[in-house]
Amino acid sequence: MSIRLRVFLIVSTLIFIIGIINSIKKNDVNIKYSLIWLFSGILIIVVTLIPNLLEILSDFLGFELVSNMIFLLAILLLLVLSYSFTVILSRHAKRIRLLTQEISILKERVDKK
Amino acid sequence: MGKERVLIIIPAYNEEANILNTYKSIMDYNKEYKTNYKVMVINDGSNDNTENFLQEFNVPHIKLVQNLGIGGAVQTGYKYALENNFDIAIQFDGDGQHNVEYIKDLIAPIINNNVDLTIGSRFLKEGSSKFKSTKIRRMGIKVIAFFIKIFTGRKITDPTSGFRAANKSVIKIFAEDYPNDSPEPISFVKIARMGYKTREVAVSMNERVGGSSSITSNIWKPMYYMVNVCIAIMVTSFIKKKRR
C-alpha cells in the first residue's frame, strides 16, 4: 500500500468516525446501533497501519489475492448488517402496531365517557 | 343460547358505501330476533367519509389513529373483545358480503359442541351460496386449502373466509398474536396446530356491493398473496403442537 493511499484511507475513516460520534452526541443515532459502524472504522484504521496483517490473514484463509478476501468479507458483513436491519425493522413495525391499537382502544374508551 | 355475550367485529377501510347498511342489518336482526349482538366497527384509518358516517349515526367504533391493514384492524377487535370479556367474537365484513342471519349458525357449535373456532364457508354445501367468487380465485382457495390439509390434516373448504366466530380461548390467542397479511388462513393453521377444535359452517355470501376487495387490485397482489400464504402456512406449522 502506498503512503498516499494509506493517508487517504486513514483521513477518510477518521472523518467517518467523527461523523458517527457527532450523530451519537446529537442523539440522532442509538449507541447500540452505531457500535458496529465504529468498530468497522477502527478496523479499517488498524488494517491500514499494519498492512501485513491482511496478507497474513489472506494467506492463512487461502485467498489468492488480498483484495478478494476484502471484498468477500465486506459483502458478508453488509449481508449480516442488512439482515439485522430487517429484524429491527420488523420488531419496530410490531411495536408501532401495538401502540396504534392500544391508543385507539384507549381513545374510544375516553370518548365514550 | 342467549346469555353469551357476542361481539361482532367489523373491520372497515373506506367502506362509506356499505358500512351503515351493514350496521343497520345487524340492528334490525337484533330487534327482530331479540338477540343482543354488540357491534364494534374498526375504522382502519379510512380517508373517505366512513368516520363521519360512524359518528353521525352513533355506530360504536374504534378509529385507528393510522392505517394498519386488515390483520391489525381485526386484531384490535379481538383485543377489545378480550378487554371487555366477551364470550364470542364474530369477524364480519363491512362491505355487505356477509349475512347477519348466519351468525347464529356460526356460534351454535361454539355454544353446544365445545368448538373453539368456526368458519363460514361458501363451498361446504353445493349451491348453498349465491356468490362463489371468480374461477381464478376459487383455484387459489383450493391451493390454500390443499396446503392446509397437508400441514394440519384438517379439511377446510373456504380458508380465506373472513366470516368467523371465536370463543374466549381463541379470542385471547388472536388478541396476543395475529398475522398482518392474509390473516385468515394463517391464523387458522395456528389454531389448528395448537389443537383447538375448528368447524366449518355452510353460509351464503353476497357479491360485494361497493368498494373493492383487498386482494384483487392488480396481478401481482394475488400472486404475492398466494406465495405469502403458502410459505406462512409452512412456517406456522413448524411451531410446536400444543394441546390444552
Residue A65 has a CB neighbour count (10 Å cut-off) of 9
A23 occurs within a structural domain: yes
> Which architecture does CATH list for B6-236?
Alpha-Beta Complex (3.90)
Say what the pLDDT of residue B4 is: 86
Least confident of B38-52, B168-182, B197-211: B197-211
Give yes or no for residue B88 having a pLDDT over 80. Answer: yes
Averaged pLDDT for residues B63-87: 96
Q: How far apart are CA B45 and CA A66, in angstroms?
A: 55
Exposed, middle or buried, B237 (CB in 10 Å: 0-12/13-18/19+)? middle
Q: Is the pLDDT of residue B210 over 80?
A: no
* Residue B143 near residue B135, CB atoms below 8 Å: no
Q: Give B236→chain A minimum CA distance, Å.
A: 17
Q: How far is the C-alpha of B16 from the C-alpha of A2, rounded, in Å?
A: 70
DSSP B125: S
- A105 contact residues in B (CB cutoff 8 A): 62, 76, 79-80, 83
pLDDT at B90: 97
* Residue B181 φ/ψ, nearest 5 degrees: -100, 140
Across the range B6-25, mean pLDDT stands at 94
Least confident interval from A53-62, B33-42, B53-62, B205-214: B205-214
Which chain A residues are within 8 Å of B80, Cβ to Cβ? Answer: 105, 108
Q: Give the percent of chain A with pLDDT over 70.
A: 99
B223 or B85, higher pLDDT: B85
The verdict on a CB contact (< 8 Å) between B66 and A101 is no
* Residues facing residue B38 across a β-bridge: B7
**E runs forming strands in chain B:** 6-12, 38-43, 61-63, 88-91, 117-121, 164-166, 198-202
Distance from CA of A111 to the nearest CA of B (A): 10
**Structure-model confidence comparison of residues B219 and B233, the more confident one:** B233
Domain assignment of residue A38, yes or no: yes
pLDDT digits 0-9 by tens, A63-86: 999 889 999 999 999 999 899 999
Domain boundaries, chain B: 6-236
- Please give the full DSSP string across B180-219, using - where no structure is assigned: SSSHHHHHHHHHHHTT--EEEEE---PPP-SS--TT-SSS
What residues of A are in contact with residue B180 (Cβ under 8 Å)?
Answer: 97
Chain A contact set for B13 (CB, 8 A): none
Angle at A19 between CA A16 and CA A23, to 5 degrees: 140
CB of B63 within 8 Å of a chain A CB? The answer is yes
Nearest-angstrom CA–CA distance, B215 and B227: 13
pLDDT of B113 over the 90 cut = no
Residue B44 — very low, low, confident or very high, per pLDDT cuts 50/70/90? very high
Query: In this model, does residue B1 exceed pLDDT 60?
Result: no
Q: Is residue A21 a part of any domain in this protein?
A: yes
Tell me how many domains chain A contains.
1
pLDDT single digits (tens) B143-158: 999 999 999 999 999 9
Q: CB A108 to CB B62 under 8 A?
A: yes
* Residues B203 and B128 sit within 8 Å (Cβ to Cβ): yes
Sign of CA dihedral B131, B134, B139, B141: negative
Chain A residue closest in CA terms to B176: A98
Average pLDDT of the residues of chain A: 91
Question: Mutating which of A96, A101, A108, A112 best tests the B interface, going by the most B Cβ atoms within 10 A?
Answer: A101
Predicted confidence at residue B135, as pLDDT, reads 78
User: Does some domain include residue A104?
Assistant: no
Q: How many Å lie between the alpha carbon of A102 and the closest alpha carbon of chain B?
A: 8
Checking if the pLDDT of B216 tops 60, the result is no
Return d(Cα B135, Cα B227) in angstroms, integer. Answer: 18
The CA-to-CA distance between both ends of chain B, in Å, stands at: 25
Does position B212 have pLDDT exceeding 80, yes or no? no
CA angle B19, B22, B25 (to 5 degrees): 150
Distance of CA A43 to the CA centre of its chain: 12
Q: Does A101 contact B76 at a Cβ distance shorter than 8 Å?
A: yes
Q: pLDDT band at A104, cuts 50/70/90?
A: very high
Q: In chain A, what is the straight-line distance between the N-terminal and C-terminal CA atoms, in Å?
A: 74
Verify whether the Cβ–Cβ distance B63 to A100 is below 8 Å: no
Strongest mean pLDDT among A28-42, A91-105, B2-16, B135-149: A91-105
Q: Which domain holds residue A23?
A: 3-83
pLDDT at B144: 93
pLDDT-derived band at B127, boundaries 50, 70, 90 = low
Cα distance between residue A106 and residue B51, in whole Å:
17
Band (pLDDT 50/70/90 cuts) for residue A33 is confident
> pLDDT digits over B158-192, tens only?
999 999 999 999 999 999 999 988 899 999 999 99
Task: Give the angle subtended at the CA of B129 by the CAs of B70 and B5, to the nearest 5°.
Answer: 55
CB of B187 closer than 8 Å to CB of B178:
yes
